[in-house]
């Protein structure tokens, strides 16, 4: 038994003082007592929030973060960035992917993420094109080795456009038939570690036909997570609209039983009807505010979505930065800029922006990975972040103001991540050195 005492803690029903937690041998919270008293030698932490589930990752893109911030065309956009991204994707071997993932997943743990949904589409081995397992195994092993919980999402990616045109030369490593996908999925399920999970994943409505999605769901759907990129770019909305007469969210809901197992990643461009469809069905919107800002995608209608009681999760996606606090900051600031107002993510029950965004994202994030990472609650993993309240900025603040300060006013406020009730290990030098060697060979 490994117990802790928190002077302030953000539990699933809000902030509480003097909280004792008991953690069993599997690292699961087995008892939580509010208004408790410190017992014996239990470690005391001043201010604790739940660790964050990361709802969306393309881990290999960490290797190119910061390398695409120069002009390549008159109107640089997501699409010109994507060409640069494909070049990186086409160079990476399974061994290199393992080293990149170990480093990036270590960064995630350090930043306060407890788990990650890996939206994985570089399937074909760099040299043995028939082998579609080696790249997934690199991800599975890397996550296990650094101790981050993983939901692996092998991606079906079959066409370049919604008109069915074939994948380009640069997209060949992503290509898979539905039969290949189903057999890869079934075979990878047997390769997972006990703390890992898997979900079904379609790249987007432009990259997979409705028929192929139905084939895969008929063969594999048993209530696991289902992820898809849905409405990231205006251009893709227009493509889908032109080809089918429907916007992507409408088209999806018309063809599938979209429910709380689904994560609609980049539900950026939504009209009022789509906001209602997503929120009423309890489907989770997967938001990646820093990547969406970096790629110039657009701004998610957060205020309307919160008003409809919509559920959302956050992800670091392209890993331009790995920092869940900054994801919250950009999410809120983008709303303020377009509305010329302050304090958008706030409800009558939860007025502080940090508490609302953090609690909602933990709850939504746990649903889209279907792992026990839903926060400080009995039966969930003992994964949390401890704030350094010695920092002058946090002097004499309650928990809600500490979290707001961490999101909006953070100059070097330290945090420690705990996984399964223990502080995570320092960055291992072997991980750093192998990552550097990998980058050297890719650059």
- Point out the residues that are catalytic: 266, 317
Distance between CA atoms of 144 and 193, rounded to whole angstroms?
A: 7
As a whole number of angstroms, the longest Cα–Cα distance in the chain is: 67
Distance between CA atoms of 116 and 371, rounded to whole angstroms?
A: 10
Helix axes 134-146, 94-111, angle to 10 degrees: 30
179 Cβ partners below 8 Å, 6+ apart?
A: none
Closest by Cα among 2, 9, 46 to 27: 2
132 — phi, psi (to 5°)?
-105, 5
DSSP-assigned beta bridge partners for residue 263: 227, 284
Buried b (16+ CB within 10 A) or exposed e, 298-310: bbbbbeebbeeeb
Contact of 418 with 382, CB cutoff 8 Å: yes
Torsion of the alpha carbons at 191, 192, 194 and 198, rounded to the nearest 10: -140
Going edge to edge, which strands form the sheet with 14-23? 29-33, 14-23, 2-11, 44-50, 384-387, 415-419, 422-423
């Amino acid at each position: 038994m490994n117990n802790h005492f928190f002077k302030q803690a953000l539990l699933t029903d809000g902030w509480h003082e003097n909280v004792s937690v008991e953690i069993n041998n599997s690292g699961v919270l087995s008892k939580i007592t509010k208004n408790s008293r410190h017992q014996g030698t239990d470690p005391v932490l001043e201010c604790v929030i739940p660790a964050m589930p990361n709802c969306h990752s393309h881990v290999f893109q960490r290797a190119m973060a910061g390398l695409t911030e120069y002009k390549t065309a008159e109107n640089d956009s997501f699409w010109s960035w994507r060409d640069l991204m494909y070049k990186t994707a086409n160079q990476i071997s399974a061994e290199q992917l393992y080293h990149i993932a170990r480093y990036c997943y270590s960064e995630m743990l350090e930043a306060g993420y407890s788990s990650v949904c890996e939206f994985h589409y570089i399937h074909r081995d760099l040299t043995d094109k028939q082998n579609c397992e080696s790249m997934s195994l690199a991800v599975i092993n890397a996550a296990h080795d650094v101790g981050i919980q993983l939901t692996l999402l092998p991606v079906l990616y079959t066409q370049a456009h919604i008109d069915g045109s074939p994948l380009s030369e640069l997209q060949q490593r992503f290509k898979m038939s539905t039969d290949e996908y189903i057999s890869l999925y079934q075979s990878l399920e047997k390769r997972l570690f006990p703390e890992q999970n898997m979900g079904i994943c379609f790249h987007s409505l432009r990259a997979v036909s409705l028929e192929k999605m139905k084939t895969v769901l008929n063969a594999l759907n048993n209530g696991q997570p289902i992820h898809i990129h849905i409405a990231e770019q205006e251009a893709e909305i227009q493509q889908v609209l032109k080809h089918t007469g429907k916007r992507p969210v409408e088209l999806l809901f018309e063809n599938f039983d979209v429910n709380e197992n689904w994560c609609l990643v980049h539900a950026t461009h939504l009209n009022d009807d789509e906001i209602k469809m997503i929120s009423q069905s309890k489907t989770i919107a997967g938001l990646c505010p820093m990547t969406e800002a970096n790629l110039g995608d657009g701004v998610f209608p957060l205020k309307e979505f919160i008003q409809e009681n919509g559920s959302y999760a956050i992800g670091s996606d392209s890993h331009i930065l790995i920092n869940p606090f900054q994801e919250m900051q950009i999410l809120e600031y983008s709303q303020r800029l377009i509305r010329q107002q302050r304090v958008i993510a706030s409800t009558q029950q939860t007025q502080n922006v940090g508490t609302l965004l953090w609690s909602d994202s933990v709850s939504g994030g746990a649903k889209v990975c279907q792992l026990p990472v839903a926060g400080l609650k009995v039966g969930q993993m003992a994964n949390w972040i401890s704030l350094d309240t010695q920092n002058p900025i946090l002097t004499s603040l309650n928990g809600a103001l500490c979290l707001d300060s961490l999101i909006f006013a953070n100059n070097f406020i330290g945090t420690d991540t705990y996984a399964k009730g223990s502080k995570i290990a320092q960055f291992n030098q072997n991980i750093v050195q192998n990552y550097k060697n990998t980058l050297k060979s890719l650059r």
